[in-house]
Amino acid sequence: MNAMNLIPIPDPIPVAWGWFEGLGILTFALHIALANVLVGGGMLALYLKLRGGSDGTAEAVSVRLPTVFALTVNLGVAPLLFLQVIYGHFFYVSATLSAVWWLSIVVLLILGYYAMYINQFKVKAARPGGGLFLGAGTIMTLFIALVLTNVLTMMARPEAWTEYFNNPGGTMLNLLEPTLVPRFLHFVFASLAVGGLFAALLAHFGKGTPEGLTKGMKMFTTATMLQMATGVWWLFVLDRPVMLRFMGDSGPATALLVIAVVLTFPALSAGFRQKPLAAAGWLMAAILAMSGVRAVVRSATLEPFFSPGSLTVTGEMSPLILFLVTLAIGLAVVAYMVRIGFNTQEEG
């Protein structure tokens, strides 16, 4: 069957697609940074707990994860909506084909949040057993990341949708996709890096332990180098036309990748010099650039089937203006929540 026949007709959009792509890149960068803190912080704290002889770093990180969890989920709504505006006719099909796994995310988000909340309670009350809940919550966040990776890679592969006729039960997985494993590992190592940086930042601001600075920055630098290796792997398993865009065939795409890679080196340098604030600044710039690279990969992979420039534009500016105002207010509220959440000893 011709995969083109399986692609739904896209809906019109109110303004030019570039607005949604740009806002999607920005909000995704904010979301993925928090997701990295959540997953990486959980893995780091769990590792330190299992290793034993904790110096307080695991506790300092893990008690803040419920707040990070809530912020991650809330900041994930905007980039998901922007994705659906442009690529909804691909995304909805992919999510439907993997419906069982996709809908499980809701359950896992609830259970994962409460698991980390119980761990926070046990740590603050000096009760045993918190590590079990921390481990469960961390495993759930990793599974959620795997499901999202599956859905987003399948979204860009309409030719894989024909498997539905052999598996109509909503349990399809895109396990044969060459980019699935390196893409997932790229996220995992990024999370370890940012989780380590989070521990170092807590120590820097006096919210963690002095040992957390050394341990956190060591984790940051080591995981960042591993992340770069998986990034190279991901690049070379892309479809050849897509890969070549980043190898000189497209000036903007190549420049964007170069910028993202170059920004990683001052972040690494700051990590080796035990400068968490500088590392965080360079890292956020790199995350923003890599979010742009990710958007280029998605559009280039889908190019044989669809171009965002072909979408019908209705010219209605009011929804965009209302959203921008709401976004500005929302970000200010989130910033205030972050300040309150990390400066109080009790949540709620």
The ranges assigned to domains in the chain are: 13-341
Residue whose tokens read 């002095």: 210
Helix-helix angle 276-302:210-236, to 10 degrees: 20
Phi and psi (nearest 5°) for 71? -65, -40
Q: Which helix (H) or strand (E) holds 123?
A: helix 99-124
Q: What confidence score (pLDDT) does residue 117 get? A: 93
Interior angle at CA 9, CA 21 and CA 171, nearest 5: 85
CA–centroid distance for 335 within its chain: 19
Residue whose tokens read 């995969």: 3
Instruction: Return d(Cα 314, Cα 320) in angstroms, integer.
Output: 12
What b/e string do you get for 136-157 counting C-beta neighbours within 10 Å, with b at 16 or more? bbbbbbbebbbbbbbbbbbbbb
Q: What confidence score (pLDDT) does residue 326 get? A: 85
Q: What confidence score (pLDDT) does residue 347 get? A: 45
Q: What confidence score (pLDDT) does residue 346 get? A: 44
Interior angle at CA 233, CA 104 and CA 236, nearest 5: 110
Instruction: Return d(Cα 132, Cα 122) in angstroms, integer.
Output: 11
The DSSP code for 153 is H
Q: What confidence score (pLDDT) does residue 1 get? A: 62
Q: What confidence score (pLDDT) does residue 320 get? A: 83
Name the stretches of the chain with pLDDT < 70.
1, 53-54, 341-348
Q: What confidence score (pLDDT) does residue 344 get? A: 55
Instruction: Return d(Cα 83, Cα 77) in angstroms, integer.
Output: 10
Q: What confidence score (pLDDT) does residue 54 get? A: 67
108, 155, 177, 228 from 174: Cα distances, Å: 20, 10, 6, 24
Instruction: Return d(Cα 192, Cα 223) in angstroms, integer.
Output: 6
Give the pair of three-digit tokens for residue 44. Answer: 């780091």
Residue whose tokens read 């009011």: 318
Instruction: Return d(Cα 284, Cα 320) in angstroms, integer.
Output: 26
Instruction: Return d(Cα 194, Cα 231) in angstroms, integer.
Output: 16
The DSSP code for 162 is G
CATH number attached to the domain at 13-341: 1.20.1630.10
